[in-house]
Amino acid sequence: MDVLEIRNLNKRFGAVHVSRNISLSVPDGQCHAVIGPNGAGKTTLIHQISGVLQPDAGEVVLAGRDITASKTWQRAQAGLGRTFQLTSVLPSFSVLENVALAAQAKSGSSFRFFRPAGREADLNEKAMRTLERLKIGDRALVPADDLSHGERRLLELAIALAGAPRLLLLDEPMAGLGRVESAMLIDILADLRRSIPMLLVEHDMDAIFQLADTVSVLVDGRIVAQGAPEDIRNDPAARAAYLGDKGQ
């Protein structure tokens, strides 16, 4: 079953055609990666999937439900978890409170103001389990503003997971991470992908080839190659468009 289906998405900004009949799918239990040079249209594609932008034509289908016209919060309620948006983190609140609030918003429990979530034991318990799964349980009581860059990435992932997503939309999760942090996050995502399908937009080719079942190469708003990672690695069109002579 395809958890996410993108069907012939098109988007223009004036005379610039930034999405050209983009179609791809993410089957249950798999990771589909999208790569491409700067200016290829990856951000526009992400915005159309998440609801920040409406396509001029085409469809976005999540778990069999057409969400093309849905608002961002409606897509989240339907099961789309978009990660690594800085606006999703409340810097003065603790790591635990940030994740508990995300769980609270999903469950619809007493959302009178932010702090009451800290007194809801079931939400805190769920939040703590998520933090421990991501190996930052020991940072639960630390203000989010005091986290390192890598820890903040993990918190943003925990916030997305708190909403019990049907699919994770990962927007360059490795950006700004060092080698050790990247390796740790790849291991975590490899574990998560067993239970949550993913659409991964990333520049880190090590992450792409370790995590992806399928890779789409996006250039000038159009998918120029699509296939298994090894097929893309050896595809002359893909190498010319993005991989260059690195052989990665």
pLDDT in tens, 93-146: 999 999 998 888 776 554 444 455 445 778 888 899 999 999 999 999 999 999
Rounded percentage of the chain residues whose pLDDT exceeds 70: 89
Contact 48, 11 (CB under 8 A): yes
**Nearest partner of 229 among 218, 219, 241, 215, judged by Cα:** 215
CB atoms within 10 A of CB 116: 15
pLDDT in tens, 4-37: 999 999 999 999 999 999 999 999 999 999 999 8
| Average of per-residue pLDDT across 202-229 | 93
Residues 6+ apart with CB under 8 A from 93: 101, 114, 143, 144
CB hemisphere CA count around 47 (13 angstroms): 13
What domains appear along the chain, each with residue ranges and CATH number? 1-79+165-248 (3.40.50.300), 89-164 (no CATH)
CB hemisphere CA count around 152 (13 angstroms): 19
Which pLDDT band holds residue 182 (cuts at 50, 70, 90)?
very high
| Average of per-residue pLDDT across 139-159 | 93
